[in-house]
Amino acid sequence: MTMPLMKPKRKNPVLRTRQMNLPPWARGRVALGMTAAAAEGRFELQVCEHCQAVQYPPREACHRCLSPALRWRAQSGEGTLLAETTLHHSNDLFFRERLPWRLALVHLDAGPALIVHLHDEVKGAPQRVRVVARLDRAGQAVLIGVPMEGSEHMADDRMLREMTCDPKFRKVLVTDGKTPVGQALVRALVKAGADIVWVGHAEPWKKLPGLDDIGALAPVTLVPLDLSDERSVNELAGEIGGKVDIVINNAEVHRSFGIQGRRGTDAARLEMEINYLGLLRLAQAFGPALRGRSADGVTSAVAWVNVLSIFALSNFPAHGTFSASKAAALSLAQCLRAEMRPAGIRVINAFPGPIDDEWNQNMPPPKLAPAALASAIVQALRDGVEDIYPGDVAQEWLERWRENPKVLERELAAGGQ
């Protein structure tokens, strides 16, 4: 049984902050298929379409019939632990600083035998285990053997915590606390055990509903933050930037207009000012300190979360300018992910469907409750994934977009959803 993680002692400021050394990250193009699935929380292996043989490691042709028709398919991960060992020495800098480290050989029910990282709750071979795919600090897929039924504190395992972004005992910045989503996020983070939750509010003179309630929670501190004002962003970064472990950017402006639904560019400019340029200002101000603390012990800086929209994948004409601003933010978030990866910082993009708020009040159900979105984001941090699509609408849009983006574009242009 995993011992519950205790709150770390205050760091000695005289001690050197450990530098981030990434685990081995080189992968061939074929192997990146496993990483793509792990980025969304799935464990997939190649399956031959001719003889149904499951392949591992990834390859260009079937190991049984040599067919090139290999497709990635989800796996249950269930198998039998055949053997395990513990490393006490490594020539790799990443593992050398994290020894001892457990490895195991697992025979999957699907056929292949795998070498996996082993959770501390798995004891002795032979026994049944489950293999899951996670992203390591280099952003590449790795396989982990976990118990079939874990304990309450299994997420506190030292090795598993290296692969995830659990907010427990970490310090989090939520950029906008005035919205239902922001307030639900704060409550979810407090429940998840966050040490400090800084909550931004752009207009402190306004008495907004719910803001006093979340401000009264013990770990919460309200801070002034206006993403449209570079000075405001830089001042807050100078005050708390070196302490933040997780940034959650949920600030947005949403107006339900297309190109011809409203004259002028004021609304569209405001959307871009917050949804796109706000993210840019935030990344420039908080990104360097976040990268610098990415190897700072069990409560190191680990993640950046962007609350985008499923409308970023394909423009929804009824919310056309908002869709365009979120598409721009998505492109910027991909750049941010590439720049953060060498430091081991996970960039998580959330693509919710329509949220049950004032700007979607005229849209028919189903709509996503703010609490459901907050729960999905906290779970994404715990799982260490890169992309999540919360809600029924988001899941349906994603499936249609992957099948044929041009068909989805035509359906939306014809008034569909």
Residue keyed to tokens 């983070």: 189
Q: Residue 20 falls within a domain, yes or no?
A: no
Q: Residue 165 falls within a domain, yes or no?
A: no
Name the residue among 291, 380, 245, 243 with its Cα closest to residue 22. 291
pLDDT tens, 369-387?
A: 999 999 999 999 999 999 9
Instruction: For residues 314 and 175, state if they share a domain.
Output: yes
User: What confidence score (pLDDT) does residue 240 get?
Assistant: 96
Specify the range with the lowest mean pLDDT, choosing from 275-284, 299-308, 407-416: 407-416
Q: How far apart are CA 33 and CA 30, in angstroms?
A: 6
Residue 81 has pLDDT above 60, yes or no: yes
pTM, rounded to two decimals: 0.93
Q: How far apart are CA 52 and CA 62, in angstroms?
A: 9
- Domain C-terminal end among 98, 132, 160: 160
Instruction: For residues 178 and 232, state if they share a domain.
Output: yes
Q: Which domain holds residue 198?
A: 171-413
Instruction: For residues 179 and 326, state if they share a domain.
Output: yes
Instruction: For residues 112 and 189, state if they share a domain.
Output: no
Q: Which residues pair with 224 in a beta bridge?
A: 201
Q: Residue 68 falls within a domain, yes or no?
A: yes
Q: Residue 19 falls within a domain, yes or no?
A: no
Residue 235 has pLDDT above 70, yes or no: yes
Cβ contact 62:34 at 8 Å: no
Instruction: For residues 188 and 99, state if they share a domain.
Output: no
Q: How far apart are CA 208 and CA 194, in angstroms?
A: 24
Task: State the total domains in the chain.
Answer: 2
